[in-house]
Amino acid sequence: MLIDALFAKIKLVSSSLFFQDILLDTWDSGEEADVTAFMSAMTRDNVNNVTKENAWTPLMILSGLGSAKGIGGALKKMKDLGANAEKQDKEGWNALHWVNTFIILRLILSILSLVKWILRVIIISLTRTGSFPR
């Protein structure tokens, strides 16, 4: 009986560590992440698990991936499995904070890209004409 309980605990710990590895590997891949392995490991039992170091949930990680392939379906599946959007990480952030932060960062990067393009046009115009366009 004690041995069975010990083996069950070992199995639980190893599967938890494996699941955390999947979460962190998915996060490390960013927008290039393939969420297939991530979602195949997702169950009702682990949908609200947190990473050991930062207390990140699977929903937080998906929320931060932006436009990675399969995100829409993955988020729906997580909702169906009972993901808790209000669960907080060690910094007090929940999944909605993650989404908003990464949307704002993407918007800033888009604006900076546009400014860079405008500056190139101005520089090209100055070098060709010798004066600022009017």
**Tokens at 95, concatenated:** 């999944």
- Tell me the CA end-to-end span of the chain in Å, nearest whole number: 86
Return the minimum-mean-pLDDT range out of 3-12, 17-26, 125-134: 3-12
Sign of CA dihedral 89, 97, 80, 70: negative
Q: Tell me how far apart the alpha carbons of residues 81 and 61 are, in angstroms, rounded to a whole number.
A: 16
pLDDT over 80 at 42, yes or no: yes
pLDDT at 2: 52
pLDDT of 86 > 50? The answer is yes
Q: 104: which residues sit within 8 A by CB, 6+ positions away?
A: none
More confident of the two residues 63 and 105? 63
- Residue ranges and CATH numbers for the domains of the chain are 2-129 (1.25.40)
Neighbouring C-alpha atoms within 13 Å toward the C-beta of 57: 29
67 pLDDT exceeds 70? no
pTM: 0.63
